[in-house]
Amino acid sequence: AQKVTQAQTEISVVEKEDVTLDCVYETRDTTYYLFWYKQPPSGELVFLIRRNSFDEQNEISGRYSWNFQKSTSSFNFTITASQVVDSAVYFCALRNVVTGGGNKLTFGTGTQLKVEL
Amino acid sequence: NAGVMQNPRHLVRRRGQEARLRCSPMKGHSHVYWYRQLPEEGLKFMVYLQKENIIDESGMPKERFSAEFPKEGPSILRIQQVVRGDSAAYFCASSPEGGSGNTIYFGEGSWLTVV
């Protein structure tokens, strides 16, 4: 069974601070995909990144960066110089590669990020 | 490029009524997924469909819930005889094929309130 844990329920930071959102996953599969989605107050789900289990290279996209560590089953997300517009709920998700069951996303419970002035 | 389109965005139903939620996948996508987000919770998988086929409905409640994705037209999630516990956000998503490596894109969600 797959499981995604986002232990931080809510984080509050002041604008321009860096913040890291933690994600720990469990899976028996050797091949899988990890995702991060953002859910702003308006409610839609916005895709941020997809990473496969064979690619442990960290990725940076503007103020966003992701640290994938297979050894600790973690896929953490860092926002540098946070802004008020970053305020949202962020979900980490896992998708396994198994015939007949390889298309479900298993989501964590989300981390509510509040960025204040 | 239109994204995944869901309607209605907000729906209010009285207990016992039926709710129908519609989803048009992104252009070129033939695979549709429905997820439910209960208040203060993450998203839970409900069902995965291809055109005219249900591939995986392991997350669907056994009663009152059904889903279809006909050859023509949008996918529909139907909830019969709604109860207060059905109040949630229902998200539709689509992908170009069933390969696990493909990104799943979500719609804006349909918020169902049962009064």
What's the pLDDT score for residue B33? 94
**A93 vs B contacts (CB less than 8 Å):** 43
- How far apart CA A102 and CA B7 sit, in angstroms, is 27
What's the pLDDT score for residue A101? 53
Judged by CB atoms closer than 8 Å, whether chains meet at B101 and A37 is answered as no
Residue of B nearest to A35 (CA): B103
- How far apart CA A60 and CA A65 sit, in angstroms, is 4
Say if residues B80 and A14 touch (Cβ distance below 8 Å): no
What's the pLDDT score for residue B40? 75
**A104 vs B contacts (CB less than 8 Å):** 33, 45, 48, 56, 58-59
Which are the contacts of A10, defined by CB distance < 8 A and separation ≥ 6?
A111, A112, A113, A114
Considering only CB atoms, B42 lies closest to which of A95, A103, A108, namely A108
State whether residue A41 sits within 8 Å of chain B by CB.
Answer: no
CA distance B81 to chain A (A): 26
Which are the contacts of B7, defined by CB distance < 8 A and separation ≥ 6?
B21, B22, B110
Q: Could you tell me which residues of chain B have a Cβ less than 8 Å from any Cβ in chain A? A: 31, 33, 35, 41-45, 48, 55-56, 58-59, 89, 91, 93, 95, 98-101, 103-109, 111
CA distance B8 to chain A (A): 14
- How far apart CA A60 and CA A51 sit, in angstroms, is 12
Residue A2 has pLDDT above 80, yes or no: yes
Nearest C-alpha neighbor of A93 from the set B58, B77, B30, B105: B105
One digit per residue, pLDDT tens: chain B, 115 residues? 469 999 999 999 999 999 999 999 998 888 999 999 988 778 999 999 998 899 899 999 999 999 999 989 999 999 999 999 999 999 999 988 755 567 888 999 999 999 9
Q: What is the DSSP letter of B85?
A: G
CA distance B72 to chain A (A): 23
Residue A78 has pLDDT above 70, yes or no: yes
Say if residues A39 and A46 touch (Cβ distance below 8 Å): yes
CA distance B59 to chain A (A): 10
**B103 vs A contacts (CB less than 8 Å):** 35, 47, 50
CA distance A29 to chain B (A): 13
